Chains A and B, each alone.
Chain A
Amino acid sequence: MYRTMLVARAFDERTSILFTQGKIPFTVTGHGHEGAQVAAAKCLVSGRDWVLPYYRDVGVVLTLGMTVRELMLAEFGKAADPNSGGRQMPKHWGARRLKIMTQSSPVATQLPHACGLAWAMRARKEPGVVWVSFGDGVASKGDFHEALNFAGIHKLPVVFFCENNYYAISVPFAKQSPVERVADRAAAYGMPGVSVDGNDVFEVYEATRRAVDRALAGEGPTLVEARTYRFGPHTSNDDDRRYRSREEVARWKEKDPIPRFAAYLKDVGLLDDQEDERLRAEIEREVREAAAWAESQPDPDPASVARYVYAEGGVGRGH
């Protein structure tokens, strides 16, 4: 878990550098969210559960089995990018083999999909849950309400996981929500709402574990809110100094989930400084190597631009 958090952090830092170097035209990062992401994803079974992560969830897709090389292919938009073959912006996940549903950029649209997937799993008697994540901005959208409402009515096996970082780009949470916690909204949909410290991996794991168990037991959906913070701007095109103070960012960095988890691991004797350093160096090498490798991979073929608008061959009967 700790290693995956470090990989997610190193990956985001590397892509920010690649952007600054002009090697990639855009990136979006999730640093600060790694604890919430990895702890929540640890409760899922890759290949059993349907997962609908959003564009900051590097820690989630790594935990589910996407490799650093694959992630880098997406950053460069290369032909072999498993998410979209270079068609989508980076971190717009999707991989059928891992049951990661393809995602778009408009936020909240994935929440009704989670309900539909849960409906299908139940109808087809497939075991598992559906886990869908989103930022705090999503709680303002109609699809959020419609999906939680439907999931509540039908007691669908869905875990709604909000990574509340207190900003929808620049709009602070106080101007998005009249209630203090996203989790408070669960009451209106007849499901438990749990708000946890998103930088505490144990709190997140426990809350998600309970939500997954509840869903597996047929008891219905849960709304889990992990309160966290993004250390960087919204995307590489954003300047967060325009809407939040450096002091605020520094205060949150004191709660950084990575040193916090490291301190625990060292405390209980599972990690020492030497091992930590070795791990970080190894990951840094891995991420750099993956970036260099991905950069050298073939670009998408321009002749492929019109493919897959519709299914090819065998259209119609018996797909």
Chain B
Amino acid sequence: MAIKNILESVRQTLFEAMSRDERVMILGEDVGRHGGVFNATQGLYEAFGEDRVVDTPLAESSIVGIAIGAAVGGMLPIAEIQFADFIHPAVDQIINEAAKIRYRSNNDFGCPIVIRAPYGGGVHGGLYHSQCVEALFFGTPGLKIVAPATPADVKGLLTAAIEDPDPVIFLEHKASYRAIKGEYPEGDYYVPIGPADVKRVGGDVTVVSYGMTMHYALQASEELSKEEGIEVEVIDLRTLLPLDRRTIVESVKKTGKLLIVHEDNLTGGIGAEVAATVANEAFMYLDAPIRRLAALDVPSTPYHPVLEQAMLPNKAQVKEAILDLARY
């Protein structure tokens, strides 16, 4: 099995999907001749032509709006938002249009689009090239939100997103693009949207996370296993909406302790819903208060590395929080 990083996995998955199905098209800023500012679409313009890899004007609302129209017209469009931070002009199209098309038409219409958006900090991107936007869309039934953390999950879930009959926001953590490498499954590989994945089995503490912080949790868990004999169960949500409540609850029933880690702000983040779910469905199994670790509630990620590090959660904090819970 080939080893690829996240970015290579995105690119290869797009290539395979476009080769397989001529309805698949990509549109966005710089996705064509340039190959994307992160090179995620490199080579696709040459392989599939300008009618299937469409360089659009710098106008996010219409990137998504055109994708919606093309989807209704029979295509399977993948809209790229260059940075998740720039998705806001398209929010009307995403929340009022894409998410509601099936519901408002009583199932007469569907909206099979994918919106790819690189997100997350740790890349010196400052306030406007670092944002997490998942919480913004999390309260919008009709949308699906996917945030895979490994090259294999990227392939499986991006394939599933493209084939899904409903709109999917596909979040790719920028810091993981080159840093995270792993096996890239050859051939037809599919991971259903919805189920979380237990990335590490353990009986002492449950950690629920996704994206880059999921890797911090895995690293911290390995260290704690060796150093302290603490066995952590790490749940990678992978799909944020709809949320796989069952896998979370089952794990907490086993461990009795829950830490939620994400890079989005603490308040109103995905973790709040996870905590509420566990409080409702596994309260009697809890041996310690539910703990959340997230980015500070400041408007976005500041530029200077010192400030950036002070704002984002890191592996040491994850490790410490797990240890606290284990000893509770």
* A interface residues (Cβ-Cβ under 8 A, vs B): 50, 81-85, 87-88, 92, 94-96, 101-102, 104, 106, 109, 111-121, 123-124, 142-143, 146-147, 149-150, 153, 307-312, 315-319
* Beta-carbon contact of A112 and B65 below 8 Å: yes
Contact partner, A150, options B62, B71, B102, Cβ 8 Å? B62
* Beta-carbon contact of A319 and B165 below 8 Å: yes
* Beta-carbon contact of A142 and B61 below 8 Å: yes
What's the Cα separation between A13 and B190 when bound, in Å?
Answer: 55
Interface segment, one of B35-43, B93-101, B251-259:
B93-101
* Residue from the set A94, A102, A109 with the largest chain B CB neighbour count within 10 Å: A102
* Beta-carbon contact of A153 and B72 below 8 Å: no
Interface segment, one of B51-59, B209-217, B298-306:
B51-59
For residue A92, which residues in chain B have a CB less than 8 angstroms away from its CB?
104
Contact partner, B106, options A87, A104, A147, A150, Cβ 8 Å? A87
What's the Cα separation between A50 and B71 when bound, in Å?
Answer: 13
* Beta-carbon contact of B107 and A50 below 8 Å: no
B171 proximal to A (CB < 8 A): no
* Beta-carbon contact of B100 and A104 below 8 Å: yes
Interface segment, one of B73-81, B176-184, B272-280:
B73-81
For residue B51, which residues in chain A have a CB less than 8 angstroms away from its CB?
123
State the Cβ distance, A71 to closest chain B Cβ, in Å.
16
Contact partner, A113, options B92, B97, B103, Cβ 8 Å? B97
* Beta-carbon contact of A123 and B61 below 8 Å: no
State the Cβ distance, A66 to closest chain B Cβ, in Å.
13
State the Cβ distance, B137 to closest chain A Cβ, in Å.
14
Known: A101-B109, A116-B71, A143-B62. A317 touches B104 (CB 8 A): no
For residue A50, which residues in chain B have a CB less than 8 angstroms away from its CB?
73
* Beta-carbon contact of A150 and B66 below 8 Å: yes
State the Cβ distance, A138 to closest chain B Cβ, in Å.
13
* Beta-carbon contact of A109 and B163 below 8 Å: no
* Beta-carbon contact of B70 and A104 below 8 Å: no
What's the Cα separation between A81 and B108 when bound, in Å?
Answer: 11
Known: A153-B57, A309-B141, A310-B166. A116 touches B105 (CB 8 A): no
State the Cβ distance, A309 to closest chain B Cβ, in Å.
5
B160 proximal to A (CB < 8 A): yes
Contact partner, A308, options B89, B96, B107, Cβ 8 Å? B107
* Beta-carbon contact of B69 and A113 below 8 Å: yes
What's the Cα separation between A283 and B62 when bound, in Å?
Answer: 42
B192 and chain A: residue at smallest CB distance: A316
* Residue from the set A50, A96, A116 with the largest chain B CB neighbour count within 10 Å: A116
B67 proximal to A (CB < 8 A): yes
State the Cβ distance, B98 to closest chain A Cβ, in Å.
10
B142 proximal to A (CB < 8 A): yes
Known: A84-B104, A143-B61. A150 touches B73 (CB 8 A): no
Contact partner, B96, options A109, A112, A119, A312, Cβ 8 Å? A109
Known: A112-B61, A146-B65. A106 touches B70 (CB 8 A): no
What's the Cα separation between A88 and B100 when bound, in Å?
Answer: 11
What's the Cα separation between A143 and B25 when bound, in Å?
Answer: 21
State the Cβ distance, A23 to closest chain B Cβ, in Å.
22
B271 proximal to A (CB < 8 A): no
Known: A94-B105, A102-B109. 15 other contacts (CB 8 A): A50-B73, A84-B104, A87-B103, A92-B104, A101-B109, A114-B69, A115-B62, A120-B72, A150-B59, A150-B62, A310-B144, A311-B110, A316-B193, A318-B163, A319-B112
